[in-house]
Structure 1
Amino acid sequence: MVPLSQELKSGDQVEIITSKKQSPSEDWMNFVVTHKARSRVRHWVNRERREAAELGREAWEKKAKRADVEISDQDLQQAAHELKFPDLQQMFYEIGSGLFEPQELVDHVRSAGPRGGDDAPSDDADDEEALRLRYEKFLDDAQETAQPALEVDGELQTDLATKYANCCNPIPGDEVFGFISKTGTINIHRTGCRNATHLLTTQPDQKDVQFVAALRVMGKDRQGLVRDLTKVISNTLDTDIRSITVDTDDGIFECTLMLYVTGLDHLRRVIERLRRVDAVHGVYRFEE
C-alpha cells in the first residue's frame, strides 16, 4: 500500500481503496496535478471552512442568547479584532472548529462594557501601524535569507537572476508564477498576490534552501506558554527559531515567531502542531 501522493509511472497497475470516512484535505493541493482536481479540492476545503464558520456563528448566537448578551455586528467585529482575529469569519470558523470557545467571547464582550459610538477612543490605528511595520521587517529579513535557487527540469539553477517578491513573500510549496522583468530578473510571486498579473509559470520545489517564515500565535495567556511553544518548535518539530516577540495584554497572549522552514509542507506541520498547544486559540501565517 502506498500513499495517495505516490507518483505513478507508465505501466503501473493500481487498486484505489475508498472510504466514506475519507475526505479531501488542503494537503492534497501539494500533489494533485490537473487544474480540475486542484479546483475540486480547493472548492471542498473552502466549503468546509464556510460550514465551520456557519456552525460557529450559530453556536455564538445560542450562547449569546442564553447569556442575555446583545451586540451589533459592528461591535462584534471590533471585539474580534480585540481578540486578535483578522475578521469575524475567522473567529466564527475557529468557534465552529472547536479552537475557540464562545464563552470566552461572551466574557470578553461583558468585560469590555457598553460599546457604540465614535466618541470612544480606539487604538486600532496604532495597532495596524505597528503590525504593518513588523510585517515589513519580516519581509526584509526573509528576502535577505532566501538565496536565489530555482530548480528547472530537476537541475538547481544558481546562476539565474531571481527575486522573491517582497509583496507576497513566496516560499517553496506555494502556488507561484514568475515573469521576466526588463532587467532580466525573474520575479516570483504567489498566485494570490494582488500586485502582479503577468504570465503564470511553474516553480518546482527547491533543495537545500531555508526560508524565513513568520507566524502569529494568539491565545489565552498562561504561565509557561512561551516555553511550551519553543519546546514544540525546537524539539518536536526540529525547527530553528530566528526570533520570537511576545506581547500580553489583559490575559490575551500574542507572539510573532520567525522560523527557518524548508517549504510550505514544513510550515503547515508547524502550524498544525502549534494549534494543539494548550491555551493557543489561533496560529496564522503572518501576511498583510
Structure 2
Amino acid sequence: MIRQFELVEKVKAYNPNVDEELLNRAYVFSMKAHGSQIRESGDPYFSHPLEVAGILSDMKMDLATIITGLLHDTIEDTIATRDEIKTLFGEEIATLVDGVTKLTKIELQSDKTKQAENFRKLVLAMSNDIRVLLVKLADRLHNMRTLHFVKLEEKRRRIARETIEIYAPLSARLGIHHFKEELEDLAFKILNPDARESILARLRFLEKEGDQNLIQSIIQELSEVLEKNSLKAEISGRVKTPYSIWLKMQKKNVTFEQLADIMAFRVVVPELSDTYQALGIIHSAYSVIPGRFKDYISTPKPNGYQSIHTTVIGPKKQKIEIQIRTKQMHEIAEYGVAAHWQYKEGRTPEVQEYQWLRSLLEILEHASGPEEFLEHTKLEMFQDQVFCFTPAGDLIALPKGATSIDFAYAIHSEIGNHCVGAKINGRMVPLRTILNNGDQVEIITSKTQTPSPTWERFVITGKASANIRRFIRTQQRSQYINLGKSILTKAFQHEHLTYSEKDIEKVLNKFQSESMEDLFALIGEGRYTSYEIIRTVHPDYNLKYPPKSRDSITKVPEGTKDVLDTFISIRGLIPGMAVHFARCCHPLPGDKIVGIIVTGRGVTIHTYDCENLKNYAEEPERWIDVAWDTKEEQQQEMHTGRLSLVLFNQPGSLAAITTTISKNHGNIVNLKFTHRSENFVDIMIDIEVKNSEHLSIIMAALRACPLVSSVDRAKS
C-alpha cells in the first residue's frame, strides 16, 4: 500500500507547488472516516482510496482529483456528509466527490438492468466534469486488481462483465489506453480463464522455442536502422495482451498461428516531421504488409489519439506492428483526456469547465463502428435527458425537467392514472418535483385515485399529457352527462312537467345530438340550457324562470332527501371538470350556494351573497339550484376557504396566526401579503377546512389572538 509521504512526493514530482497541507488533511480525514472498515481481501478499507489516489497521481492529475480519489467513498460508506467535505475542502472537491458517489449508487443498480446503453449515457450525462469519470475509472481499476478476493463467483463475474462491457470501452473512448488494456485483461481472467491461459501458454511456448530476447533484439535492430539515418528515437516493444489476441482470433476467425501481429513496437520521436521520416526509413529497410498502414496523425481518432501504424516483416523475419508518434502524442495515447489536464495555479473554474466539456464533446463526436461506445451518439443528444431508477433497478430515460408523474406514466399508464404520491431517494416529495439524474423513484398508487386536471400544467412528456387528456375527456364527458341529466330532470320537475326521454328523443336533431347522452353532455357543458330543451319539447308551455337575484334564494334545508329531490347535488362531481368552485367567494359546505352555467365549462358554484352574481342577473336561464351532499364520507373532503386578516406589524404575528390555524386543524395552502404599513399588515390566507363551520371556529380563534386586529372571509 502506498504511504502518505510517498503520495505527496509523487504529486510534488510533477506539481512542485502542490498544497501539501490540504493533501495531508484529506489523507487523515479519509483514514479516520473509514476507521476500522475491512475489505474482502482483509486489508484496511482505507488502502483502497489511497491506491485510487496513487493511480490518479500516476496520471499526473490535479490536486482536486487526487483528493477526490482519497475521499470518493466517504459519503457512500461512512458518516461523512457533502456539507462536511465542502467545509473542509471546498465546493470543487465536494462536487467531485458527490459526482463519484452518485455514479457508485448507479453502478450498484446496473446489474439489475440490461439497458447498458442507457447506463452508459447516464454515466456521461451525470459527469459534467470529466474528472469524475477518471476517478471512477481509477476506482474500478483497483477494484478489478483485487477482484479475486471476492468470495461469490457470480458477483465476480457480474463485476467483470460490467467492466468489459462498460468501463473498458469508456476508457478507450476517453483515450486511456493502458486503463483499457488492464481492465480488459483482468475481466478476461474472470470471464474466460481457460482461453486466457491457453493464449498465455502459447506465448510462453513461442518465447521458449525462439529467441528469449526476441523483443530486445528487434528493438536493438530498429534503433540501429534509425541511427544510421541520423534519427534519434525511444523504442519499446511488447507482446499484445491475451484479450486483444483472443478478440482478433474471434473477429477474424483465425487460429493463434495465423495472427500476423502478436508483437507491437512503439517508436517515439522528438518532432512531428520526424514521424514521417521514421516511417520512410522503416519502409525502406523492411517489406511492408499491404493494407496494414494507418495514418492517425493526419486524421486523428475521435478521442484525440495520433500515431502512424504500419505492419512490416521486420528484424528476425518477424511480422511486427510499429507505431510511430511524438512524445506528446504518446502521452495522449497513454492517458487520453487526462493528458490534456495541465495543472495551473489560479486557473478560473470557467476555463477549467470549458476545457473539459470541449474535450468530452470532441471525444464523443464520432464513432467508427457498432462495437464502439455510444455508436453515432453525441453528448448533445442526451444532455437534455435524465435517467432515473425504479426500486427494482429498471432504468427510465426521461426528458430534462420531467416530474414524478412523467416517471409514473413512463412505467405504465395505469400507474400514472392511479398515482397519489412519490418517494425520491426514499423521501416523500410533491408529484410536481423535477427529477435529477440518478434518482431512485418509487410511485405510490391508490385504486381510488384518478388524474387531476392540474397535472397537465407541469408534466412534460407526451405520454403523460396524452393519458391525462384522455382521462379528462372521458371523465368530463361522464361528468357532463350526469350533470346535464340532473339539470334537465330537475328543470322538468321544477316546471311541474312530466320528464319523458321519448319526447326529448324526437327533438334531438334540433340540438345536433345523436343520442340522449350527447344532449345531456351538451347541457352539462353549458352549450344548451334546460329551458331551451323544455321550450322545444313543449313549445306552448309558459315557463317559470329561476330566481333573478340572490335575494330570492331560499335557505336550503339541511341534509334531507327532499333537498336532493329539489336541488342538484354536486356529490361525485370532480372539481375542475364539470363543476368549478368560484375563486371569488370560495364556497364551503354549509354555505348557501347557487350554480351558474358557464358555456363550455359546466357549472361554477358561488355563495348566494357573492358580489359577482350580479353579472348574471339578466341571464336567469344560467342559474340552477344546487346543494351540498351531506353524506358523512362527502363531509370528510377538504375545501379551500379564504380569509382576510389585518395583523399588528410586530414580531411573531405571523407565527401566532399559523400556530392558531394549525391547532384548529386547518391547513394553509396559500398566503399573500396584500398591504403593509408601519403598524399593520394585511394578509390573504387560503385554508383547507371541512366546511363553513370549521372555518368559523378558526376565525373565532384568530379573533381571540391579541396580535390580530380583524378577521373576515374574503369576498373578492
Shorter-chain TM-score range: 0.3 to 0.5
TM-score, length of structure 1 as denominator length: 0.42
TM-score, length of structure 2 as denominator length: 0.18
Structure 1 or 2, whichever has the larger Rg, is 2
- The structure that is helix-richer by fraction is 2
- The structure showing larger relative contact order (alpha-carbon pairs under 8 Å, at least 6 residues apart) is 1
